[in-house]
A and B are shown apart, each in its own frame.
Chain A
Amino acid sequence: MAPTRDKFTIHSKAVVCQDVDMKGDITIGSGTIVHPKATIFAASGPIIIGSGCIIEEGAIILNRRKEVMRIGDDNLFEIGCRVECPMGNFNTVCTRARVHFTTRLSSYCVIGAGCLVVATDEEILDEFTVIYGPAAERRVWSGQGRIQEADLRRKHAEYLREMLPKFNRLRRGDGV
């Protein structure tokens, strides 16, 4: 198989720092923030990230599959997490959590700090699934407070869009 060519499509309203490791065919949507030292690696198929996502330092987003890996809007990838799967909107992957490519997140899922999610078979996590604790236990969130959380996430992203460019060089897409 021929090695995938690098092709970065970055929306003009996205904030992607220069010091981000990117390989392959990547599309980043409006208002999404990628902190320095993050890694986005479309090893096989392309990665398409929606709008309003926050990808923090040391986070790794990796597509091992040939299909397009689609990441929805307003997802938060905390420091040092590793995600190899597509997902819907408003998911939170906490610090150093790892989600393998056999899993899919729908929306409003929370993968707690340090949790490892490896499904032996293909698995789609239902909306509002929360995985937490040292044993990666699961429960279903009632959804109470999601609107306030979404509001907070928007403000978080807004602040970063304003502050990050003051201290970092930004990356622009190819020929946008």
Chain B
Amino acid sequence: MSPTLEYYCPCQSSTPHPPQPNLPSSSYSFHALHNLYFCEECDAIRCNHCVMVEVSGYYCPNCLFEVPSASVRAEKNRCRSCARNCFMCPCCSNTLTVVPSDPPDDGDGRPPPIISATGEPPFFLYCNHCRWDSAEVGITFEKPTGLAAQLQKFEDSAPEALEFERLKEHFEPYLRASPSTSGHGLGHSHSTHINPITAAASSALARDIPGVARYTPHISARSRSGRDKNSNRHEVPDYRARVEIGSTGLNLGGGAESDVDFVRHLETVEEMATLEQRWGNSWIISPRASDLKPVRIPLHSKKSKRCPSCRHILIKPEQKAQSVRYKIKLVAANYLPAISISLPHMQAALAMLRRSGRAGAEPQDGTMLAGKTYPFHLSFTNPLYDPIQVRLHVQRALPPTSPNAPPDAEKARRPPFAVTLPSAAFPIAAFAEAWEYDDDEDMFGIDDDDFDGRGGGGAGRDARGKSRTVGVLERRANVTVVGGEVMISKEARGDVKFNMLVSYTYRSDDPDPADELGTPSRTQAQNRQPEMKTFSFYTVVDLGTIIVRDASGNDTE
């Protein structure tokens, strides 16, 4: 496995420092750079665990029809737009097409000379991929249009659908009454537009369950809202189901006797519908593969995300379903340097394997052995239009144990490896569009002025002499490669994984928010001289697993 590096979002912990990387739970706090956002307002990294997600529009992934949110619930979140007929093959989940019936076959397999262009009824749904067709399950249509409406009759008369309608009716008065009561509870919270459904759901979730301790997160103030309405729940009369569970004995899939009977008489596995084929259905359906019905394509949604503390939008897609662009896009990759990591000894081993034609083989020479020292390379790419200075620190791997702990325990808690990183700050040149098109070495046609940020280029070239492994190794365009070193102790076990603090200093365009209260003259003065700011973030570096060499093995190396 190649070494990895991930970025820390502090939302999961109460301190700004990340958890120890050897804790299994720590992975929850670290993310790939492309999954992170950056709030300019708060000057902070935001991840998918902490952002607030809002649906900004629904659309059908097949016909790209934008479905107004009002009708999404009425359509049960499936496409039945316009005259288009968006159905999914129940067998392979490909899109189905409407086709006419074949003209009568004259027996010799040759088609009749003229096939009418409009086609002959009955029409049916047909899968071009697996050749499933709806005639197999007895679904045919007189007209090739408005199929969804024609199929609606089947759907609506299903006992489950009727039961669900009744349930909705039953809760209707309660839901209508909810907004007024929940309004007070929500007054202080950020969520001003919680709809009655959400309110009802959260109140159901927040209900006291005998024997289960109530979960009270100390930071979250917004989940308190639901519980205030507990007094309301007794007002809802009990609901009496029309049909008893399991009594729908005629239908397969309900877990009744008939299901057992069906499974008992299976001859081939193919008779059974796979879980995947049944998963997307709203109701429990028959487990028999030959009973699978075409499904209306589930709608997709476009979502925008907000910063949890300042509520500014971090990412917002364009409204049109056809568009893949964003109106707002504050992704961390545009603010933080991208860091990639490599182990030169592992790459050499891989290259050798590739040359010898055993690309799939395990690179034995690329593993890390206990008791050895290995260099590693960190490559930084600057996304900013200004040069930056970067400084690296290794987070002390483990917190000290209590002073009266036995020395053995103290020793066991010490990290089994030592990491050396360049101690001095190093520069990364500014990003320029032109870099993207240039070959690595070949910098033709660029004026000397453009080389401002590359003053230290000479140092990199010196370092190409193999003697140095720690320090700046290479500088080209907006990329700087630095070398580090890891010394693995003889008793070391487990993964070489450590937290690294990255601080970078950049020129800030806007005045420091802290100085906004200062006198106007002072702000003026600062604007004349570019102000330098520093942003720090944590990363976790995983170099791989330490291999313990067998004591009886070859020690000749």
Contacts and interface: CB of A to CB of B under 8 A. Distances in A.
A46 interface: no
A112 B94 CA distance: 13
A175 interface: no
Contacts of B100: 148
Contact of B101 (A133, A138, A144, A150): A144
B130 A133 contact: yes
A112 B135 contact: no
B270 interface: yes
A137 B111 CA distance: 29
Contacts of A139: 91, 130-132, 270
B109 A144 contact: no
Given A139-B91, A145-B126, A147-B103, A89 B132 contact: no
A144 B100 CA distance: 9
Interface in A140-158: 141-142, 144-148, 150-151, 154
Contacts, number: 56
Interface in B327-376: none
B124 interface: yes
Contacts of A148: 99-100, 102, 111, 115, 119
Contact of A146 (B102, B115, B132): B102
A126 B351 CA distance: 47
Nearest to B289: A139
Contact of A112 (B101, B112, B130, B136): B130
Contact of B133 (A112, A144, A147): A144
B439 interface: no
A29 B103 CA distance: 28
Interface string B76-116: 00000000000000011000000111110100011110010
A110 B131 contact: yes
Contacts of A142: 131, 133, 135-136
Interface string B131-169: 111011000000000000000000000000000000000
Nearest to A140: B131
A14 interface: no
B468 interface: no
Contact of B105 (A90, A133, A147): A147
Given A89-B109, A132-B92, A150-B111, A144 B124 contact: yes
A137 B109 CA distance: 27
Nearest to A110: B131
B384 to A, nearest CB: 42
A151 B130 contact: no
A130 interface: yes
A147 B111 contact: yes
A20 B417 CA distance: 62
Nearest to A146: B102
Q: How large is the interface on B (under 10, 10 to 19, 20 to 34, 35 or more residues)?
A: 20 to 34
A160 to B, nearest CB: 18
Contacts of B129: 112, 132-133
B305 to A, nearest CB: 32
A115 to B, nearest CB: 11
A130 B111 contact: no
B242 to A, nearest CB: 37
A90 B109 CA distance: 10
B135 A154 contact: no
Contacts of A144: 101-102, 124, 126, 133, 135
A74 to B, nearest CB: 9
B126 A132 contact: no
A162 B91 CA distance: 38
Contacts of B105: 147
A141 B131 contact: yes
Contacts of A132: 92, 129-131
Nearest to B120: A148
Nearest to A147: B102
Q: Which of B99, B103, B115, B131 has the largest number of chain A CB atoms within 10 A?
A: B131
Nearest to B135: A144
Nearest to B127: A132
Contacts of A151: 111, 115
A121 B483 CA distance: 57
Nearest to A90: B109
Contacts of B119: 148
Nearest to A132: B130
Nearest to B113: A151
Interface in A93-140: 110, 112, 130, 132-133, 137-139
Q: Which of A89, A139, A146, A150 has the largest number of chain B CB atoms within 10 A?
A: A139
B133 A145 contact: yes
Interface of A: 89-90, 110, 112, 130, 132-133, 137-139, 141-142, 144-148, 150-151, 154
Interface of B: 91-92, 99-103, 105, 109-112, 115, 119, 124, 126, 129-133, 135-136, 270
18 contacts: A89-B109, A110-B131, A112-B129, A112-B130, A132-B92, A132-B130, A132-B131, A138-B270, A139-B130, A141-B131, A142-B131, A142-B133, A142-B135, A142-B136, A145-B99, A145-B126, A146-B102, A154-B111
